[in-house]
């Protein structure tokens, strides 16, 4: 006797109806700022300063778009005649292509990265980005986004090589009318126009260590100018470079003779920001 067995296999499949173009056209594009480190930008900085923003599409996941981004200033941030170049990158830090696919419901991270070794004056820099979302050949959403970052004021004044704020200079034997060009160089870093202010404790005189009435006058040379330190002196040519090495020199006045001993003065040099 044979037993017959029957097996029934029922396969259930779910079929998704394709979305119509009109449903994909109902899309909301949201742009949000994540962070930026522009404020700490330095000429020699590494890693470079960055600005990060996020793009999110509120749309069905089946919808695939193309996102096109353009820059009003050709990827240059502007501030009162000053400019900073930057690059637009994706989250893998690869260069952003002018047009890239983007699916509904997804997020996209974009990074604006400042190029290195640029003179960045303090101030607020801006560029205007335009985001266009394409569905096929149709523009379904468009937004403008102002990319904005502030570069903070930064001043540094130190002796070259020492990165110190104090220096001692031994002139050796003092000679009448002698020019001394071996003073340490000043290292100046500034992202705003600055002037130099110089003052002398003894009003431009080297004074004998024990007898103040014994003294010899001098002039200081800097910025192609001679500074008379009988009163505080300010350079009349503002420094506007990002980094400057400033050589200093002094020249003694003419004298017939000096009493033996040590002569000294204390000079204070300050950076003074100018209006910009």
Q: Is the pLDDT of residue 170 over 50?
A: yes
0.85 exceeded by pTM: no
Residues 76 and 123 in one domain: yes
- Residue appearing with tokens 């950076």: 271
Residues 203 and 230 in one domain: yes
Q: What is the CATH number of the domain that holds 201?
A: 2.60.40.1090
The pairing of strands 64-71 and 99-103 is: antiparallel
Please report which confidence band the pLDDT of residue 14 belongs to, taking 50, 70 and 90 as the band edges.
very low
Residues 137 and 120 in one domain: yes
pLDDT score, position 166: 84
Condensed to tens digits (0 to 9), the pLDDT of residues 182-228 reads 888 888 888 888 888 999 999 999 999 999 999 999 999 988 889 99
Percent of the chain with pLDDT over 70: 87
* Residue 14 located in a structural domain: no
Number of domain units in the chain: 2
Q: What is the CATH number of the domain that holds 53?
A: 2.60.40.3480
Q: What angle do CA 122, 190, 157 make, to 5 degrees?
A: 145
Residues 132 and 223 in one domain: no
Q: Is the pLDDT of residue 181 over 70?
A: yes
Q: Is the pLDDT of residue 8 over 60?
A: no
Contact 67/102 with Cβ under 8 angstroms? yes
Q: How far is CA 159 from CA 79, 170, 184, 188, in A?
A: 31, 15, 7, 9
Domain holding 33, by residue range, is 21-151
Q: What share of the chain is helix, strand, coil (3-state, %, to 5)?
A: 5, 50, 50
């Amino acid at each position: 006797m044979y037993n017959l067995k029957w097996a029934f296999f029922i396969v259930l499949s779910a079929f998704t109806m394709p979305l119509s173009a009109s449903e994909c056209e109902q899309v909301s594009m949201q742009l949000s700022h994540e962070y930026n480190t522009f404020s700490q930008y330095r000429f020699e900085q590494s890693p470079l300063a960055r600005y990060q923003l996020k793009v999110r599409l509120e749309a069905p996941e089946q919808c695939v778009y193309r996102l096109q981004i353009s820059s009003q200033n050709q990827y240059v941030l502007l501030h009162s005649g000053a400019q900073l170049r930057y690059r637009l990158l994706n989250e893998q830090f690869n260069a952003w292509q002018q047009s890239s696919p983007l699916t509904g419901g997804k997020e996209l991270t974009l990074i604006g990265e400042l190029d290195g070794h640029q003179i960045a004056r303090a101030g607020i820099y801006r560029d205007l980005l335009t985001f266009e979302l394409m569905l096929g050949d149709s523009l379904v959403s468009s937004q403008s986004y102002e990319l904005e970052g502030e570069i903070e004021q930064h001043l540094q004044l130190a002796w070259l090589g020492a990165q110190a704020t104090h220096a001692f200079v031994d002139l050796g034997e003092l000679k009448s009318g002698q020019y001394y060009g071996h003073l340490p160089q000043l290292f100046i870093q500034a992202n705003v126009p600055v002037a130099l202010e110089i003052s002398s404790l003894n009003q431009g005189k080297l004074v004998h260590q024990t007898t103040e009435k014994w003294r010899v006058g001098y002039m200081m040379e800097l910025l192609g100018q001679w500074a008379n330190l009988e009163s505080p002196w300010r350079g009349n040519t503002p420094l506007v470079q990002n980094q400057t090495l400033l050589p200093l020199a002094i020249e003694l006045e003419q004298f017939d003779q000096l009493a033996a001993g040590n002569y000294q003065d204390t000079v204070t040099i300050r950076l003074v920001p100018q209006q910009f």
